[in-house]
């Protein structure tokens, strides 16, 4: 079996930074599962479906998500920047709570893991996606530090930013949604 390293934790804890460094050092493939949930959210927004109606997510089967290094492609289009927009960020927790969305992406993630040694980060990697991972890491940081990083990241990309206080509130809302949803909530693996 290939090597599997799972990194879970809330947003802004530093998962993707650590995961990328680790993958580079070990020569493993890095898989950002949050980017996949973001890509589906972007597509749902572009299609202007009612995000609250799970039956409208019937586009999943015909949706193609591909990684190429640090770039992510949605149906052949590079959406690496677009999936980080505030609109996607504010809606991704809603979209990622649906069973159909999760089942579809978890199955894609497991398929990717069959092909190579990987470092995969997300919320449910050690608990659901790769339950038998060789190494499971739960990464966290203080709310203030996470908010500061998220904000700096947006400033560096020239994106719209809110104040530190507002960013903390946004993170709190997302943390709450991600850790209280019914299916695969964010939690530490045993
Ligand atoms: O890691 P991120 O902030 O880019 O993730 C975006 C959202 O996707 C996050 O708020 C919750 C969801 N997500 C998830 O439900 N399961 C994962 N494995 C990864 C992300």
Ligand 1 centroid, distance to 34 Cα (angstroms) = 4
Please write the tens of the pLDDT for every residue from 96-153: 999 999 999 999 999 999 989 999 999 999 999 999 999 999 999 999 999 999 899 8
Residues with CB under 6 A from ligand 1: 11, 33-34, 37-38, 92-93, 96, 122-125, 174, 178
Q: What angle, rounded to 10 degrees, do the helices at 86-95 and 164-180 form? A: 20
Ligand 1 centroid, distance to 165 Cα (angstroms) = 22
Measured CA to CA in angstroms, residue 54 lies from 44, 63, 92, 100, 101 at distances of 11, 16, 14, 8, 9
Please write the tens of the pLDDT for every residue from 176-188: 999 999 999 999 9
């Amino acid at each position: 079996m290939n090597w599997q390293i799972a990194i879970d934790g809330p947003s802004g804890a530093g998962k993707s930074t650590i995961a990328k460094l680790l993958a580079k050092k070990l020569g493993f493939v890095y898989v950002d599962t949050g980017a996949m949930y973001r890509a589906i959210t972007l597509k749902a927004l572009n299609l202007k479906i009612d995000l609250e109606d799970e039956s409208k997510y019937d586009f999943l089967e015909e949706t193609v998500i591909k990684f190429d290094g640090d770039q992510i492609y949605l149906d052949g289009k590079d959406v690496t920047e677009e999936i980080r927009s505030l609109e996607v960020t504010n809606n991704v927790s809603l979209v990622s709570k649906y069973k159909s969305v999760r089942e579809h992406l978890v199955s894609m993630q497991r398929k990717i893991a069959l092909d190579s040694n990987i470092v995969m980060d997300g919320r449910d990697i050690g608990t659901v996606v790769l339950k038998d991972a060789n190494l499971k890491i739960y990464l966290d940081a203080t709310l203030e530090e996470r908010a500061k990083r998220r904000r700096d990241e947006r400033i560096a990309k020239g994106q719209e930013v809110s104040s530190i206080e507002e960013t903390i509130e946004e993170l709190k809302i997302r943390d709450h949604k991600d850790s209280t949803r019914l299916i695969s909530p964010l939690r530490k693996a045993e």
